[in-house]
Structure 1
């Protein structure tokens, strides 16, 4: 059975994709700790990050770092948060988000889907896409 992440990647269900190639995709989470909160995932359904082949893991981290740099620059964040977490979707993913303190590292502080502003989510996705394009990362 396909995961919700695979369905976003394939276009089966809507998602705010900011980056995609043959092996890695990145899209905004529907429950962000801050606008710009992005998930970096392997296209292949791999449940645990420890099972991801080293070359793919390196590529995922390269994409996460590029997104993190855009987040710091474009969202006026002190840092880009990086977190591996999540039992709710059996598809490995890296969380990258604007961070000015440790609060974002507690995903329990995330906004619920119905609390987010769709216009702000769309703007955040476009900001990341533009930033990646400007740096030649997309």
Structure 2
């Protein structure tokens, strides 16, 4: 087994485990954006979050909600961000990040006016928005 998160889930590698059940594992990120940054993973290997069966995705969300409430209480924050990225480890995982600053999980698109403000990226033209919406509706049909 070469997947880092599968090895953590199997107990082959150490982790600061926060929650465990038959389907989901949550543990502290080794390189946190903020202290308390938690990763929530399905025990079964799914590369992308959209590939998880819906009941498993719902379980990941339910565990994440419970953890977010706990993070608010323990880290003294008003907001906890939840992001699925899949950039570094090819195993679906949610990041729960206690937000101490409005840019704790921002991309460069929101930083045009510096760290102490929040810049809105430019809007797309209404025709482009309509075309995107139509493509997505067709893909869902």
Give the TM bin, normalised by the shorter chain.
0.7 to 0.9
Q: Do the aligned partners of 1:20 and 1:26 also contact (CA within 8 Å) in 2? A: yes
Structure 1: unaligned runs, 5 residues or longer: 109-138
More helix by share: 1
Size of the aligned set, in residue pairs, is 108
Q: Relative contact order: is structure 1 or structure 2 higher (C-alpha 8 Å, sep ≥ 6)? A: 1
After superposition, the CA RMSD in angstroms is 1.6
TM-score by length of 2: 0.72
Runs of 4+ that moved beyond 6 A: none
Residues 33 and 107, structure 1, Cα contact 8 Å, conserved in 2: no
Q: Which residue of 2 aligns with 1:129?
A: none
Superposition pairs for residues 1-138 of structure 1, below 5 Å?
Answer: 1-106=1-106
**Does the aligned pair in 1 maintain the 2:48–2:86 contact within 8 Å?**
no
Relative to the length of structure 1, the TM-score reads 0.73
